[in-house]
Amino acid sequence: MAGLLAKEEQRPEHRDLYLKNIAYAAKPAQKANITIILEPINTRDIPGFFLNRQDEAQQICDEINAPNLQVQFDIYHCQIGEGDIATKLKRDMKRPNTGIGHIQIAGVPERHEPNIGELNYPYLFDLIDSLGYEGWIGCEYKPKAGTSDGLGWLTVSL
């Protein structure tokens, strides 16, 4: 986790330390065949969170240049903080060395089931498939009516 930024003026120092820590962790993780995933999180849900944007996370991966460092594309966080999901998926999926290591979903804007809200997940799933993503897509949401009822969207076509 990138942590909280106490004051915006501290961003350069925080960034330097964050990059040093990620680079330090990437070396032994690579030897152990472990991939490190960076997760940008929107500042509405976590005010002051340091890493907020997909392009920032990709830039950090470029700077560290470790083969086992990738970015989590959390569609919920990206839509809340940035929008333009399809364009960002297209941009980041084709990155040769880093790119997207994991995708996560939730409904926007309340973070309920993925079939509730403003996003067209059937379109996004088709796009993700067409871009060649073969990893898992995780769900991290707050069920609107409890856990069991909250899994009902899986049996219904999005």
CATH number at residue 105: 3.20.20.150
pLDDT for the residue 99: 83
- Count of domains observed in the chain: 1
Q: Which of 8, 9, 13, 39 is catalytic?
A: 39
| pTM reported for the whole predicted model | 0.91
- Assess if residue 1 is contained within a domain: no
Which residue stretches of the chain have pLDDT < 70?
97-98, 156-158
pLDDT for the residue 152: 78
Give the whole-angstrom CA distance, residue 132 versus residue 58. Answer: 19
Q: CB neighbours of 15 closer than 8 A, spacing ≥ 6? A: 50
pLDDT for the residue 83: 96
Q: Which of 13, 113, 134, 140 is catalytic?
A: 140
Instruction: Express the helix, strand and coil content of the chain in percent, nearest 5 each.
Output: 45, 15, 45
Domain, as residue range, for 49? 8-155
Tell me which residue has tokens 């897509």.
137
**How are beta strands 137-139 and 100-105 bridged, if at all?**
parallel
* Residue 39 annotated in active site: yes
Which amino acid is it at 116? Answer: I
